[in-house]
Every structure is written in C-alpha cells, then in structure tokens.
C-alpha cells in the first residue's frame, strides 16, 4: 500500500506548538526528530562520549515532525490545514510530502491501540480487541479509521471525563468537529437523550456513523458533513469542541446560538502556549469558567454563559 509522508521542519523553539497542531490531524500519532540536546541526552542515558558522525552533524536548531497518511486520510487537505495553522501562529515551517511504500504500517499501528479506561465510568476497546469489564463500565467499541479521536490523546480523554460529570438522561449534545464520533457515543452510553455531530471531513462522518452503529446508539444520534452555521439547528444542553485554540476562540463568538440558556460548552485541544489567548477571549465573548482540567500540556474547560 502507498502512503504519503509529511515532513514538517520547524525551529526548536516552536516544536511543542507545531507537534500539538500536527497531532490533531492524524489518528495514529507522529514521531519527531529532535537533536537539540543530543550530546547531553547521550551522556545522561548511555554515559558515553562516542556519537555517530551522521548524528553529530544533524541540525540542532531544527526539529522534524513526521506524519504518515494513506489516501483516505486526505494528505493534501492535511498539508493545507497545517500550513494555514502555522502561518496563523507565525511559525515558519517547511512542509514537504513524499510517497512511501509500507504494506504493514496500516495494520501495525493496531498493536499499540489496546483497551483502556477513562474516568470512573467509561472504557474504550478497539473493535478487534476484548475487554474484561470487571467494573461494569460503559464500553465504547471503537475503530477510529482515519478520524481523529480514540480517547488515547489527552484532549479527547479530558472531554470524556467531563462528560461523565455533566451528562444526565435529559441531556442533548452537540459535538463540533466530531471526528470518530467518540464524544457523542460516550454521552449516549452515559445516558444522554440525543447527540449530534458535525465535521467538515466526509470520511470522519462516515467513521462516526459506523462507530455509533457498532455501539448500538445510532438511533439516538446523527452525524452531518459541513460547517456549523450551515448544518446545525436547535439548541443543546452540552456543546463539545475538541479542536485547536484558534477555532475555539472563533467559535466563542457564535456558539451561544446553539446552547440552551443553562447549557455548558466543553472545549479542549488547548495547548499550554495558547492558553492565555483563550483565557482572554472567554470573558470577552460572555463566558465564565466553571471547571478546568489539565493533562500533560493540554487544557480543557467547562464554560457557561455570563
């Protein structure tokens, strides 16, 4: 099978932000070449001074992020998205692509996606694995396909933990940028009355529908391809947006049109370096913070209207 390799070269000072943005575009992870502390790292880990000349000659001012996509992952759209995000943040990045052959890669990543638990009530189990449900959790059977959202990434897990606290039997949920549909499915298994997911990516919506059917909640949810303003009607008790900070900030300007008066907005995907930008926008657009969770360098917030 043929895959597209996307290589993103950025200054070391931007690697955390750049890798966070890159991670939002792929379902299976990325890997990073960073030789900035090569000598110190080798000394600390191996306690040796001898380093291969090829390694020693690597540019220590740059890092390279590698992403691998198949044709279903829309590599050209991914490149456009990455370039726009980097430009918006003033990050100078060299984004290149190449075609590679690897017949095993598409299946090998599954070896690393195993059942795991989220919070007190949920567990995620890949569709090809078995899970011993000793604690009577709500188990989400998931095949992410080419869509973002397995629950393994901190941004998704934080949203799932917050849903466990706020969902009840009368809850209606809107998930903006639904990806694999995992947040809608989580809410419905937790007892929500209905869920609606919207995503600009057609393949994500297809995957979300398949996952909803796999979990027996397809009659209580719907997934639509398109942007928010053109595809969503009505108001919801909970609105979720697990996307990058720039999109969340823009969303704050209009999302009240889709929220019940006493509804909440759960936002995630906020990397450390963008947190202050979001904190400035929250009161500006008439919201207050009700809850804040942090994991690694990622932040999630529960917001209510002022």
Query: Does 210 fall in a domain?
Result: yes
Query: Does 187 fall in a domain?
Result: yes
Query: Does 121 fall in a domain?
Result: no
Claim to verify: residue 103 and residue 179 sit in the same structural domain: no
What confidence score (pLDDT) does residue 27 get?
Answer: 58
Claim to verify: residue 247 and residue 103 sit in the same structural domain: no
- Residue finishing a domain among 108, 138, 168: 108
What confidence score (pLDDT) does residue 120 get?
Answer: 95
Residue 67 neighbours by CB under 8 Å, 6+ apart: 5, 6, 7, 8, 22, 25, 26, 30, 78
Claim to verify: residue 83 and residue 158 sit in the same structural domain: no
Claim to verify: residue 159 and residue 100 sit in the same structural domain: no
Instruction: Give pLDDT < 70 ranges for the chain.
Output: 1-2, 27-29, 34-60, 70-74, 100-112, 144-152
State the total domains in the chain. 2
Query: Does 6 fall in a domain?
Result: yes
Query: Does 171 fall in a domain?
Result: yes
Kindly report the CATH number assigned to the domain that includes residue 102: 3.30.70.120
Domain containing 199: what range?
153-305
Claim to verify: residue 82 and residue 174 sit in the same structural domain: no
Kindly report the CATH number assigned to the domain that includes residue 250: 3.40.50.150
Query: Does 281 fall in a domain?
Result: yes
Query: Does 127 fall in a domain?
Result: no
Claim to verify: residue 177 and residue 275 sit in the same structural domain: yes
What confidence score (pLDDT) does residue 280 get?
Answer: 97
Claim to verify: residue 185 and residue 286 sit in the same structural domain: yes
Claim to verify: residue 160 and residue 104 sit in the same structural domain: no
What confidence score (pLDDT) does residue 47 get?
Answer: 34
**Could you tell me whether strands 298-305 and 287-295 are parallel, antiparallel, or unpaired per DSSP bridges?**
antiparallel
Claim to verify: residue 101 and residue 158 sit in the same structural domain: no
Q: Which residues pair with 8 in a beta bridge?
A: 65, 95
């Amino acid at each position: 099978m043929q895959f597209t390799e996307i290589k993103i070269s950025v200054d070391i000072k931007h690697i955390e932000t750049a890798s966070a943005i890159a991670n939002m575009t792929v379902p299976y992870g990325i890997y990073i070449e960073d030789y900035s502390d090569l000598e110190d790292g080798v000394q600390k880990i191996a306690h040796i001074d001898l380093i291969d000349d090829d390694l020693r000659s690597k540019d220590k001012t740059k890092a390279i992020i590698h992403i691998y996509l198949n044709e279903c992952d829309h590599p050209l759209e991914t490149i456009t998205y990455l370039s726009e995000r980097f430009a918006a943040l003033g990050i100078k990045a060299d984004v290149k692509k190449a075609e590679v052959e690897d017949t095993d890669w598409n299946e090998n990543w599954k070896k690393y996606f195993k059942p795991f638990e989220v919070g007190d009530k949920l567990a995620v189990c890949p569709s090809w694995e078995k899970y011993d449900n000793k604690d009577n959790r709500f188990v989400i059977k998931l095949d992410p396909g080419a869509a973002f959202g397995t629950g393994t990434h901190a941004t998704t897990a934080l949203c799932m933990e917050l849903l466990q606290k706020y969902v009840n039997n009368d809850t209606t949920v809107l998930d903006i940028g639904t990806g694999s549909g995992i947040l809608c499915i989580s809410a419905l298994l937790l007892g929500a009355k209905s869920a609606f997911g919207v995503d600009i990516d057609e393949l994500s919506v297809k995957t979300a529908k398949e996952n909803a059917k796999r979990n027996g909640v397809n009659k209580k949810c719907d997934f639509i391809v398109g942007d928010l303003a053109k595809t969503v009607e009505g108001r919801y008790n909970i609105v979720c947006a697990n996307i990058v900070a720039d999109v969340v900030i823009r969303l704050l300007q209009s999302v009240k049109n889709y929220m019940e008066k006493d509804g909440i907005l759960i936002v995630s995907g906020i990397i450390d370096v963008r947190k202050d930008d979001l904190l400035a926008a929250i009161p500006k657009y008439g919201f207050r913070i009700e809850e804040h969770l942090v994991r690694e360098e990622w932040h999630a917030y529960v917001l209510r209207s002022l």
